Amino acid sequence: MEEILKYVQNQLVQAPFRLRTYTQDEQGKKYPQRNIYIKIEKYLRDFLHGPNAQDRWIIIPGLRGVGKTTILAQLFLKHHQEAGQQRMLYISLDEVVNVLGSSLKDVLTVYERILGESFEKLTAPVFIFIDEAQYDPK
């Protein structure tokens, strides 16, 4: 679990810098936002600011290369400061499963420890962006 702890801590610090490469080209020109971005961004804002936000899970299915990671990165970067560094986690399960030999469950367990509270008893919104979910068979 120590390796997972280091991974999650690193993601909390490094994700904004790593995700920037998904939102702009080498010259710094931002990639366009797809139509679905607007809809998902509204869900995110409502969850963050709405007193009765109902949408707690948002799933973006699609073929490889259609822009799902780019949308996640754009949303993450837009709301990262507002939500707070510890309250917004981006993970790519291909790294967790293939590099660390671990699972989403292990990452979530460690993340609860970092937050200092269980997901069931959260006192403020938490955002978990899970990319490449198909890599974890469970």
| Average pLDDT of span 22-36 | 90
pLDDT confidence tier of residue 53, bands split at 50, 70 and 90: low
| Rounded-to-integer distance, Cα 30 and Cα 60, Å | 21
| 39-53, 99-113, 115-129: least confidently modelled range | 39-53
| 22-26, 57-61, 116-120: least confidently modelled range | 57-61
Spacing of C-alpha 130 from chain mean position: 5
What pLDDT score does 54 carry?
63
The amino acid at residue 49 is H
Cβ of 25: how many Cβ atoms within 10 Å?
Answer: 9
Whole-number CA gyration radius for the chain: 15
What pLDDT score does 112 carry?
95
Cβ–Cβ under 8 Å, residues 37 and 74: yes
Q: How many domains does the chain have?
A: 1
| Rounded-to-integer distance, Cα 135 and Cα 4, Å | 16
Question: Is the pLDDT reported for residue 7 higher than 90?
Answer: yes
The residue range of the domain holding 104 is 2-135
What pLDDT score does 70 carry?
92
What pLDDT score does 95 carry?
94
* Average pLDDT value over all residues in the chain: 89
Q: What are the pLDDT digits (tens) for 57-98?
A: 888 888 888 889 999 999 999 988 888 778 899 999 999 999
| Rounded-to-integer distance, Cα 20 and Cα 51, Å | 31
